[in-house]
Structure 1
């Protein structure tokens, strides 16, 4: 029993640390060339994903649900209504056009100040039909406290998920009804967040609290060595991470949007834009969309909405 209580205490401290870190985030000014204002029913966007035609999907850590925004920035319409199918606070999103699926992370985020629209406990990953919105699959993360954060897909359609409250990356293989632990390593304990595959076939992740970036060696679907990469500048609350050309694009809670290029055990982090409390990023051709989550204002706004900020997706084009 003492061991169980120790684990529970550690998880509570992790959630508290995450809440404190979010409260410390600066709300930097944003000046995107293209902006879409989100409705007040979808506050504090956490993730954004896209289709090849420019259609966007955006989650909401405060209100739940998923919005769909047609290419060109037309009016946002609900793809997943808040609380529908037992969902709660929505975080990571990833569209898999090849298989016609939208992956959605749904969590009880009460510990970090977002009670969400339902009382569903735990961390969940749900798959929805991109065309109809029908629920295809619903799988709970194993163990006690867990928070499903972000996603990556391999070529076979297996889904990889970061668990922010545990130093582990989970995998859900096609046709499986439960997650397997791909890797669990104490070096990943500082709030796993963004995740993406590199052109070398290895898996890359960052840690929100630690400001770290790691490579997990992958060989024939088997995880190998976990390597901490030396970044060319300190990372400040790194979050969404997506493949881009020969590397990645990454956003940070500090507001930075950067290109990341890995060479050996080092990562060149080159800022290319500045946004307000950036949380999510997606790529459509040469256009990069950023979700301005402004999580530093989360607790204050949910307690007193009289001075609630507006929320936007903003884009910039990269040559």
Structure 2
């Protein structure tokens, strides 16, 4: 198997960017969409090394510029956010641990977890107010003395970024499942509910959720997961994804209430999950791809009028259940949970030995 290391990609149209990709001959190393995007901007690709390798990397067909390896005892990453100085926070699905990665690469546990924070499946940083918000749903549950799986009340929490102390911990209304979080400039918190057909809102300093939007379009099918990822644009437009159904919906604030519309896509998304707006206004999101196992990072222009159905540009694929992402300028960090095996009975005990955050430059 021929493995090629591409160490320089120079974009001459508007900017100069240097990135690295590790390519496997036989894999779809660069997606057609990403390859077309690069070469349409007069990209010069220089291959500086080649070596034989008989193994096929099945985890990721498009290698990120770099991968951040997480500590050995930190498993199943999910929630991720970053500060303006490049500090990254990563949460775990199976514990309340939150890892802090400094710009120089130093890694340390920022928060060890607590009785009320037993998972960190979404993280969003309100840097102005020094608050790290997160969701803590008991996704896997715990085994009681009788051998039964029980689940603790799903929660939303807030940490003081200067001390790491828990300053807020609220149960989800009506036994809801808080999946993902978006923040507004006033410090308001928007939380998607995977069990109830609604998006919750927590006003600054409030101690109780209110319903921001509730609609039958958000209702999941029986035994399915409903609302998951959420991204809020500066103009107030909010995009949410229906995880099991593969839909994207646009919520536009109106003088009275909100207008909700289904976004027409060229294909159903395969478990849309974490999402954020890129600097150019396009939507970046992860496709978990629970059934196929071919998780992806994709880009969709959801705001511009015109073309319908909206094309879906695949930037990277081959991930094992990507779940969330964060952006800073043109940098994108993606958490790949590698949790899929725990949902497949025949692979349940095969715990991966390493976990990563993948870094891309748009």
TM-score by length of 2: 0.72
Equivalent position to 1:213, from 228, 244, 248 = 248
Equivalent position to 2:332, from 254, 263, 288 = 288
Secondary structure of the equivalent of 2:269? coil
Residue 260 (str. 1) matches residue 300 (str. 2): yes
Change (3 A) 1:304 1:200: closer
Map Cα deviations across residues 79-132 of structure 1 (whole Å, 9 max, x no partner): 1113x152122211101111111001112223xxx539xx87211111111121
Paired with 1:149 and 1:215, the residues of 2 have a C-alpha distance of: 18
Q: Are the aligned partners of 1:28 and 1:277 in contact in 2 as well (CA < 8 Å)?
A: no
> Unaligned stretches of 5+ in structure 2?
1-57, 144-149, 221-225, 290-294
Q: Give how far 1:306 is off.
A: 5.4
- Corresponding residue for 2:354? 310
Q: Are the aligned partners of 2:342 and 2:349 in contact in 1 as well (CA < 8 Å)?
A: no
Equivalent position to 1:60, from 73, 92, 95 = 92
Paired with 1:260 and 1:193, the residues of 2 have a C-alpha distance of: 17
List, as ranges, runs of 4+ consecutive aligned residues in structure 1 with deviation greater than 6 Å.
none
Q: Give how far 1:198 is off.
A: 2.4
Paired with 2:321 and 2:104, the residues of 1 have a C-alpha distance of: 24
Equivalent position to 1:154, from 156, 164, 184 = 184
Q: Are the aligned partners of 1:27 and 1:296 in contact in 2 as well (CA < 8 Å)?
A: no
Q: Give how far 1:304 is off.
A: 5.7
CA RMSD, aligned part only? Answer: 2.6
Residue 80 (str. 1) matches residue 108 (str. 2): no
Paired with 2:337 and 2:350, the residues of 1 have a C-alpha distance of: 18
- Corresponding residue for 1:115? 142
Equivalent position to 1:271, from 314, 334, 359 = 314
TM-score by length of 1: 0.82
Question: Which stretch shifts more, 230-239 or 97-106?
Answer: 230-239
Paired with 1:73 and 1:298, the residues of 2 have a C-alpha distance of: 30
Q: Give how far 1:135 is off.
A: 1.6
Q: Are the aligned partners of 1:30 and 1:276 in contact in 2 as well (CA < 8 Å)?
A: no
Secondary structure of the equivalent of 1:166? coil
- Corresponding residue for 2:341? 297
Question: Which stretch shifts more, 127-136 or 172-181?
Answer: 127-136
Q: Are the aligned partners of 2:320 and 2:340 in contact in 1 as well (CA < 8 Å)?
A: no
Secondary structure of the equivalent of 1:231? coil
- Corresponding residue for 1:236? 270
> Unaligned stretches of 5+ in structure 1?
1-25
Equivalent position to 2:216, from 169, 174, 186 = 186
Which is greater in Rg?
2
- Corresponding residue for 1:143? 174
Q: Are the aligned partners of 1:287 and 1:316 in contact in 2 as well (CA < 8 Å)?
A: yes
- Corresponding residue for 1:225? 259
Secondary structure of the equivalent of 2:341? helix
Paired with 2:348 and 2:342, the residues of 1 have a C-alpha distance of: 10
Q: Are the aligned partners of 2:296 and 2:314 in contact in 1 as well (CA < 8 Å)?
A: yes
Paired with 2:85 and 2:197, the residues of 1 have a C-alpha distance of: 36
Paired with 1:282 and 1:224, the residues of 2 have a C-alpha distance of: 26
Secondary structure of the equivalent of 1:47? strand
Paired with 1:95 and 1:70, the residues of 2 have a C-alpha distance of: 15
Secondary structure of the equivalent of 1:230? coil
